[in-house]
């Protein structure tokens, strides 16, 4: 299984902290956000390689960081070539870009660059391997360290998603999908179909909403550990504080 970290954003909501570096390289204790993500990803027995997609502005910064990473031999950094925010490919655009670049396809785990989790990733990977359905992480908003609920979701008793709405004005459920997905390799070439239909490319969750509406089988995997976010300065500072506490 390959893991993809979507790190091609410009960190607008974390400025001025991200004026000269991506939010992935913001400090978190003695390390950085992405160092912690890599430890978590490689703790999973199924992950053998991590691909990080960056924009042109921060590509050299990521490349320099990679040289000192203990995982450098298992990391690949892709440059999507974007130099300005107004031209961003968006999360889904970068996913499609990566699928075309990585060569031989394998099952793909997709992780947002500002998402951190305490749960054992092996459990989600095992659940995926049991059925090979598209699988997404489900959290409860009331129990997470997230300032805004970005989507809402409903599941059947068997775990399949029956309803998904991206950016609801007033969420009717407390369950939401985090940007932690696993796609079977057979599905990956179909990601470009989403863009071919003229759909928006910025929010990764819009792809999940599209899949549910198209009646793809999307399984929700409920996680109950701590869920952190570094999407803006406020949430980053909260994550720093909470990460310093013992579990």
> What average pLDDT does range 86-92 have in this prediction?
94
For residue 208, is pLDDT > 70? Answer: yes
pLDDT at 157: 81
Instruction: Please give the order of strands across the beta sheet that includes 108-112.
Output: 75-79, 49-54, 2-6, 108-112, 175-183, 134-140, 218-222
The mean pLDDT value of the chain amounts to 93
Place of tokens 């991206």: 166
Query: Of 82-86, 109-113, 125-129, which gets the smallest average pLDDT?
Result: 82-86
> What average pLDDT does range 73-98 have in this prediction?
96
For residue 146, is pLDDT > 80? Answer: no
> What average pLDDT does range 13-40 have in this prediction?
93
pLDDT at 112: 96
> What are the tens digits of pLDDT across the range 154-164?
998 889 999 99
> What average pLDDT does range 191-210 have in this prediction?
95
pLDDT at 247: 61
> Hey, what domains does the chain have and what are their CATH numbers?
2-243 (3.90.550.10)
């Amino acid at each position: 299984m390959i893991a993809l970290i979507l790190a091609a954003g410009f960190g607008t909501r974390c400025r001025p902290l991200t004026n000269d570096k991506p939010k992935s390289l913001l400090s978190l204790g003695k390390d950085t956000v992405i160092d912690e993500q890599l430890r978590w990803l490689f703790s999973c027995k199924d992950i053998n390689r991590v691909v990080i997609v960056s924009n042109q502005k921060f590509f050299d910064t990521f490349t320099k960081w990679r040289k000192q990473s203990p995982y450098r031999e298992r990391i690949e950094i892709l440059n999507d070539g974007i130099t300005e925010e107004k031209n961003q490919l968006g999360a889904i655009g970068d996913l499609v870009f990566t699928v075309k670049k990585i060569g031989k396809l394998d099952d793909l785990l997709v992780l947002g660059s500002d998402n951190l989790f305490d749960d054992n990733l092996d459990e989600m990977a095992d659940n995926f391997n049991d059925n090979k359905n598209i699988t997404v992480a489900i959290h409860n908003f009331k129990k997470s360290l997230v300032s805004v609920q970005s989507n809402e979701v409903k599941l059947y008793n068997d775990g399949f998603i029956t309803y998904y709405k991206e950016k609801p004005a007033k969420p009717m459920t407390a369950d939401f999908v985090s940007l932690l997905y696993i796609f079977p390799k057979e599905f990956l070439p179909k990601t470009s179909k989403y863009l071919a239909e003229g759909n928006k490319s910025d929010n990764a969750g819009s792809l999940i909403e599209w899949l549910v509406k198209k009646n793809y089988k999307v399984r929700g995997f409920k996680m109950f550990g701590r869920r952190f976010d570094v999407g803006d300065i406020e949430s980053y500072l909260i994550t720093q504080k909470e990460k310093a506490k013992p579990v």
